[in-house]
Amino acid sequence: MQSLVYADVRAKFGLSANLAIQAIRRVCANRKTAAQKGKKITEFAPTSASYDARIFSFDEKNWRVSLKLLEHRRKFDLLIGNYQRHLLKGTKPTSATLVKRRDGTYYINIQVEKPIHAATPGNGVLGVDLGRTDIASTSDGQSWSGKQTTNIRNHHWRMRAILSQKASKGTRSSRRRCRQLQKRLRGREKRFQSWVNHNISKELVDNAATSSRAIAIEDLTGIRDRTNKQPRSKKDKRLGNSWAFYQLRQFLEYKSLLKGVKLILVPPAYTSKTCHKCKHLGDRKGKKFYCLNPDCCWSGDADYNGSQNIAALGMIVNHPGGSSRLHCNLSTDGSGLLKAHTYPIG
């Protein structure tokens, strides 16, 4: 792509050599992402520009950045808080992204490199069961209810439905007002979900780091496609499709790297249907689990039971040595995370 359009881009837009290369790279990356998602892209909105060390620099003494613009290089003071200053202090960032807001103003994302602590096996495994009723439940008995998140989602869904109807059938002034409200509500639900997942992931990683344990979670890749093929109500499908389990996994991944906590992925098959006490199949009804083994008859919270099974599978990965009941094969995915493939014996 660069050999085809480089000269034309420089001549048409008056970009310097590095800015032209950064623009071409951005378009190529966007086209590749769109192709992976099966989308046809004909144009891109000018919302951001990438900078590297040759056209960007950071001055910690004066808290300002220097950027190469179309005609010349300019310096800008950073209007940032103490938290951002703490992250930038003592660093030498070599890349940044200049982003344009919808209102026409700009802000800059500065990429900072941090050292990653080597993950250690630890003394045990903290099992975490992910779900919608409870966003996360641990093998320690701690859980985070998803009731507030579900209520927020339902509220925003109703608001979007009402505004969409009024925006198409109301008067001119009401349609204008509805569009303004839609713009204001855009992204509010997503920001709330991100805030919840940040809090949960931080507490989970801090707990594991304090007790020197690894974290085991289910590998839920493809769960939406599998569940959408089953007969479900429209409401259940909507709530399932808006479940942000993958975002929580991403937050756990990078927070674990920063804390030196080992993150293990285990297969979700039968983790919620197996009794953690006797390893026999049981019956799950909502939040309750009942073991069908007459010699055990354990009953209790289904998510707690699932987290115990996840912790047991994670322990096999963390301390390989076999089990009298389970056989485990290990593999790694592209991100380097350990994945366990477990099969019952007998």
Long-range contacts of 299-303 (CB under 8 A, 24+ apart): 301/137, 302/272, 303/129, 303/131, 303/133, 303/134, 303/137, 303/143
Furthest-apart CA pair in the chain: how many Å? 81
Q: How confident is the model at residue 202 (pLDDT cuts 50, 70, 90)?
A: very high
Q: Could you give the CA distance from residue 319 to residue 314 in angstroms, rounded to a whole number?
A: 8
234 lies in the same domain as 213: yes
Strand order in the sheet with 338-344: 143-145, 134-138, 124-130, 213-218, 263-266, 338-344, 326-332
Domain shared by 233 and 285, yes or no: yes
Is 218 inside any structural domain?
yes
Q: How many domains does the chain fold into?
A: 3
Contact 318, 121 (CB under 8 A): yes
209 with 334, same domain: the answer is yes
DSSP-based three-state secondary structure for 273 = coil
CB 335 within 8 A of CB 312: no
Indicate if 261 and 337 belong to the same structural domain: yes
Structure pTM?
A: 0.70
220 plus 306 within the same structural domain: yes
Instruction: Specify if 22 maps to a domain.
Output: yes
275 in the same domain as 133:
yes
Query: Within this chain, do residues 33 and 4 fall inside the same structural domain, yes or no?
Result: yes
Is 154 part of any domain? Answer: no
What pLDDT is recorded for position 245?
81
In whole angstroms, what is the distance from residue 260 CA to residue 52 CA? 29
How confident is the model at residue 340, as a pLDDT? 44
For residues 88 and 23, membership in a common domain is answered with no
156 assigned to some structural domain: no
pLDDT digits (tens, 9 = 90+) for 179-199: 778 777 777 888 888 899 999
The verdict on residue 248 lying in a domain is yes
Judge whether 316 and 326 are in contact, CB under 8 Å.
yes
CATH at 215: 3.30.420
| Average pLDDT over all residues of the chain | 82
More confident residue, 121 or 274: 274
Range(s) of the domain holding residue 11: 1-44
- pLDDT recorded at residue 150: 79
Identify the three-state secondary structure at position 235.
Answer: helix
Residue 310 lies in a domain: yes
Instruction: Tell me what pLDDT residue 227 has.
Output: 64
* Residue 99, beta-bridge partner list: 48, 107
Confidence of residue 95 (pLDDT cuts 50, 70, 90): very high
* pLDDT single digits (tens) 150-180: 788 788 778 877 777 777 776 778 778 887 7
Residues 259 and 309 in one domain: yes
Residue 174 maps to a domain: no
pLDDT higher at 67 or 117? 67
Range 80-88 average pLDDT: 92
* Together in a domain, 76 and 29: no
226 in the same domain as 141: yes
Structural domain contains residue 79: yes
213-248 pLDDT, tens digit per residue, is 999 998 887 766 666 666 666 666 666 666 678 888
Q: 263 with 223, same domain? A: yes
The predicted pLDDT at position 237 comes to 64
Kindly tell me if the per-residue pLDDT of 344 is higher than 80: no
